[in-house]
Amino acid sequence: MTLTVRKLPCSVGKVIDESSLPQGTVLFNPSVASPILYLRGMTMSSVTNANFVVLHNMLNKTTLEINDKTQLLPTANVYTGLEDLRIAWFAKDGVKRLWFTATCSHASHEMNNELVVGYFSDSLKDIERMSVVDMGFPPPIKNICPFVHDGVLKLLDVTTKSIFILEDSEKGFEVSNVATMRPMAGIKWLNNFRGSTSPVHLHGNLWGCVIHDIIYNSVECGQKLSYIHHWIEFDVITGDITFLSSPFWIAHWGIEFVSGILLNYEDDSVRLYVGVNDSRCVVAKTTLYDLRVGK
């Protein structure tokens, strides 16, 4: 069987000027909750890859590096810190905060990739609260994406095809499954699809997001691993998956990870925020039409 992967029609540009970064430091896998852009920072050495959180305000062009280490446990793991945040604005008890999900291997004594949820302080200079969340299935857990629907903070996990409500109780953050995603007739869903971006609201109960699969190339291709992406649409109440696009790549055939999305409802333009080769980030401007239609 032949797999055809299309090049997504888009214009690609820089997310942030990386020329002044110290040697051995990279920024990649951006997430966005306008006007704040999250960037995964990493400082690499011979013994560790230390992750750190960068928040960039796209309006006033200010950038803050967040100290996330005070709420984590000491570790000898190669990868340290919070990885691949997804961010969303959410108002709880009338107070609007920037919430996030992330993966971390030393947030608890389990010392395994677990989901952490938290929110930043009003100043966005530090993390006000953060804790591990029990998803009800064993780690490793990655790419759980937050979004707000009907005034409720929800989590999307494409791997298990589940939509959760996140509740803040006296015991801490807890989740409950409110919908199981089901491909409708004619949609060829693969069990190895994984989450990429938080979903965005299209109309009514219909939401859309980018998901991904990976393929292993032959040696002749030059890249051992490539990501391929799909655009999906689903009913947030019933979980029905109503649309799955043909596979596409964006800016780089190889390791490119779509971790952020911003939809302009006025002209239906879409900005996809992409990490490339785990070392840099780009933004691709496209349209809903081009996400849905292509050869």
User: Can you tell me the mean pLDDT for 230-234?
Assistant: 97
Tell me the two tokens of residue 116.
């952490």
Cα–Cα distance list, 191 to 5, 152, 159, 240 (Å)? 19, 28, 7, 16
pLDDT of residue 59 exceeding 70: yes
25-292, CATH topology level: Tachylectin-2; Chain A (2.115.10)
Q: Report the range of poorest mean pLDDT among 6-15, 18-27, 236-245.
A: 18-27
Cα–Cα distance list, 204 to 138, 171, 200, 235, 239 (Å)? 34, 34, 12, 9, 13
Regarding pTM above 0.75, the answer is yes
Checking DSSP bridges between strand 79-80 and strand 95-104, what pairing results, if any? unpaired
At 256, give phi and psi (nearest 5°). Answer: -135, 130
- pLDDT-above-90 percentage for the chain: 75
Q: Where are the domains of the chain?
A: 25-292
pLDDT tens sequence across 14-43:
998 888 888 889 999 999 999 999 999 999
Which H/E stretch holds residue 56? strand 49-57
